[in-house]
Amino acid sequence: MTTKQNARSPKVRMSEDVSAVTQRRMRLSPQTRERMILDAAIDFFAEEGFRAQTRALADRIGVSQSLIYRYFGSKENLIERVYEKTFLSRWNPAWEETLADRTRPLRERLQEFFRSYLVAVDDRNWIRVAMHSSLEGSDLTKRYIQGHVTRLLGKIALELRSEAEAKKKHELSPMELELAWHLHSTVIYYLIRKHIHGTAVSLQTDDIADMIVNNFLDGVNSLAMPKSKVISTGATGGQAQKTEHRSKGRI
Q: Going residue by residue through the chain (251 aa), what tens digit of pLDDT does each one get?
A: 444 444 455 444 444 544 444 445 557 899 999 999 999 999 999 999 999 999 999 999 999 999 999 999 999 999 999 999 999 999 999 999 999 999 999 999 999 999 999 999 999 999 999 999 999 989 999 999 999 999 999 999 999 987 557 666 778 999 999 999 999 999 999 999 999 999 999 999 999 999 999 999 999 887 654 444 433 334 444 444 444 444 444 45
Nearest to 215 by CA among 251, 162, 175, 161: 251
pTM: 0.76
Decide if 225 contacts 134 (C-beta within 8 A). no
CATH of 88-224, one of 2.120.10, 1.10.357, 1.10.260, 1.10.3110: 1.10.357
Residue 57: how many other CB atoms lie within 10 Å: 21
Rg of the chain taking only CA atoms, in angstroms: 28
Euclidean distance between CA atoms 43 and 36, whole angstroms: 11
Look at the domain 26-81 and name its fold. Answer: Arc Repressor Mutant, subunit A (1.10.10)
Domain definitions of the chain by residue range? 26-81, 88-224
CB 100 within 8 A of CB 79: no
For residues 149 and 126, the answer to whether their CB atoms sit within 8 Å is no
| Half-sphere CA count of 175, side-chain side, radius 13 A | 2
